[in-house]
Amino acid sequence: MHDRTAALDNLLNQCLAAFVEAGTLDLSLDQLASQVGSSKRMLVHYFGGRENIEQRAMTRLEERLRARFATDSFPRGATPEVVVTALWNRATASESRGVLLLVMDLSRRAWNGSKRAKAFYEEQQRLWVELLLKFLPDQPAVEEVLQLFQGALLAYLITGDRESGRRALIRAVAGRHKTHRHLISRKKNRNAKPA
């Protein structure tokens, strides 16, 4: 039983790798089988059909993204600028291009009404907000940075220019972080008791 589970897990990893390489879930079962070195019949046998393969691949992608962008992967006390720069570098690394394209494909599916793709998108949004709030504890600022990050990623995918997006993000985060620190300082001064 353990060997079968390991083989199935390996096959799922290969399917996800094929989707990432293609940058889309829109591979036919024949294309997918060819990519993973199996047959269409065996994929259906193991997974029960194309939709199940996609579902399980999205779940596996979620697990990998959650691990890759986990809060504990950043040094304790890191500034928002350091965290956003690290996130940008990870997201725009050359080996991440297929993942970005696959996430964009899932976003397209969400726009077109796929409930599973919309759930994937919403979970990614929630995880990013949760992560960013650990380093920039200002909900509106985090939401703005996330929107800017997503726009910068789209521009990067189109132009290939990593620097303009990185600079825009750092400016935005530095400004929001400075404003947040200033507000905390003012609040502390107001609450301080006269000597």
Q: What is the pLDDT of residues 63-80, one digit of tens each?
A: 998 888 888 888 888 999
CA dist 61 and 84 (Å) reads 21
Under 8 Å between Cβ of 69 and 91: no
**C-alpha to C-alpha distances, 166 to 49, 60, 84, 132, 156, nearest whole angstrom:** 41, 28, 9, 16, 10
Task: For residue 169, name the pLDDT band (cuts at 50, 70, 90).
Answer: very high
The whole-angstrom separation of Cα 25 and Cα 36 is 14
* Average pLDDT score over the chain: 87
Q: What would the two tokens of residue 153 be?
A: 């990623």
With a cut of 70, say whether residue 189 has pLDDT above it: no
Tokens at residue 176, please? Answer: 């929001």
> In which element (H, E) is residue 32 found?
helix 29-36
Task: Indicate if the pLDDT at residue 1 is higher than 80.
Answer: no
Q: What is the pLDDT of residue 179?
A: 52
| Pick from 118, 113, 143: nearest CA to 131 | 143
Q: Looking at residues 130-147, what average pLDDT do you find?
A: 91
pLDDT above 80 (res 182): no
Cβ atoms of 169 and 149 within 8 Å: the answer is yes
Determine the pLDDT at residue 190.
58
Owner of token pair 């990185």: 166
Residue with tokens 């940058």: 23
Asked if 42 contacts 30 with a C-beta cutoff of 8 angstroms, the reply is no
Average pLDDT over residues 126-143: 91
110 pLDDT band, cuts 50/70/90, is very high
- How far, in Å, CA of 155 to CA of 184, rounded? 34
Give pLDDT, residue 77. Answer: 85
Contact 173, 82 (CB under 8 A): no
Rounded percentage of the chain residues whose pLDDT exceeds 70 = 90
Average pLDDT over residues 118-131: 92
